[in-house]
Structure 1
């Protein structure tokens, strides 16, 4: 099966995020857990030992389906908080997560509008 991953899509997402002055990383390792829930401290530390940069609850199903359908994809992770491994941080609340998520959603809308525009022209 051909991998539909498209390096130009990743590069365009990255360059556009930089242009919009968004905090961005060119690549990373994502671990997907079943949610919605918070990780335990043991899980969080285990995921970090495994090399995970981001813990999420939704990327894998979309990536697998896109791959099976031969659709190029690029993942955009919208981090909302440090996981519980960061012991010097106070535990995060749902209100704090929702506030960061809203800001992230606005940023991703800007990003996607700009990126789609580059492929449409």
Structure 2
């Protein structure tokens, strides 16, 4: 199977130099509409599908993102792997603004989001002990280092908060006590849904600020965050380019965790008890196991 990389991030990624065969596709899914049109392109001979997480112009807040539609749309587009690029706050002194953290764990503190494709009529429990693809994560870290990012941390825990407000100082200190590395609002349930869709997922978290735990600094300010995000964009472009070059040079193999078969034994509802309407909605996500 050839690589086909889905990239969830800002709409600025579409400006990557050298993209060929660029076309936009407006899609719908059984779960509603994704955040934005899909942008298909090729780079170094590798197929890419871009999805602007918050739509162009950052129109949609984190709690209102249709995470299920986003992942379903990428699955229907035939992507084999998903790279998430997102802005985060740092919970560690050594992770200054501009650092990139290729996270390997999450603590999900979101509460106002639908977190599964499965529900009454078809129940499934996928393993999330290792929530990212180790192979894709290592490739992304290599690509970030080659892009000249000064600090690239391999591994770290991403605390997912609901938002849209930033943390209180007490919350920020608590998350530091838990050993978290970064804090953001978007990678859950995104990572969980990617696992249910049997899509290897990697998250590159780009630090924009120190949250609010660092009392000697000013509190989190959106204008400062936007300045750092702008500076991170060039590195993000270079990261994607380097990652795609590595994919072009290395044939794709299945993820070490066997993510492509995550649903193999996860669906526990007896076949005769499954809801046909829900099964129809799961055609892309779970068709591999449901259609046997």
Structure 1 length normalisation: TM-score? 0.90
Per-residue CA distance 1:11-65 (angstroms, 9 max, x = gap)? 1111221122212100001110112221000100111111111010001121111
Matching residue within 8, 11, 14 for 2:141: 14
Q: Secondary structure at the match of 1:71?
A: coil
Structure 2 CA distance, aligned partners of 1:106 and 1:61?
Answer: 27
The counterpart of 1:94, out of the listed 196, 214, 222, is 222
Cα distance in 1 between the residues matched to 2:137 and 2:232: 18
| Structure 1 residue runs of 4 or more that deviate by more than 4 Å after TM superposition | none
Which of 229, 234, 237 is equivalent to 1:106?
A: 234
Is the 2:146–2:239 Cα contact (8 Å) retained in structure 1? no
Written as runs of structure 1 = structure 2, the 5 A alignment for 1:51-62 is 51-62=179-190
Matched residue SS, 1:75: strand
Question: Do the aligned residues in 2 keep the contact of 1:80 with 1:101 (CA within 8 Å)?
Answer: yes
Contact 1:84 1:91 in 2 (8 A): yes
2:157–2:180 CA contact under 8 A, matched in 1: yes
Task: State the SS of the aligned residue for 1:60.
Answer: coil
Structure 2 residue 157 is matched with structure 1 residue 32: no
**In the alignment, structure 1 residue 85 sits paired with structure 2 residue 218:** no
Paired with 1:92 and 1:2, the residues of 2 have a C-alpha distance of 35
Cα shift at 1:2: 6.1
Other structure's SS at 2:207 match: coil
RMSD, matched Cα: 1.7
Task: Structure 1: state its 5+ residue gaps.
Answer: none
* SS at structure 1 position matched to 2:202: coil
SS of 1:25 mapped into structure 2: strand
User: 1:106 Cα deviation (Å)?
Assistant: 2.5
| Preserved contact between residue 14 and residue 24 of structure 1 (Cα < 8 Å) | yes
The CA deviation at 1:98 is 0.5
Distance in 2 between the 1:7 and 1:76 partners?
Answer: 12
1:46 paired residue number: 174
Matches of 1:51 and 1:98, distance apart in 2: 26
For residues 44 and 2 of structure 1, do their structure 2 counterparts lie closer, same or farther at Cα, with a shift above 3 Å needed?
closer
Q: Distance in 1 between matches of 2:233 and 2:190?
A: 18
* TM-score normalized by the length of structure 2: 0.39
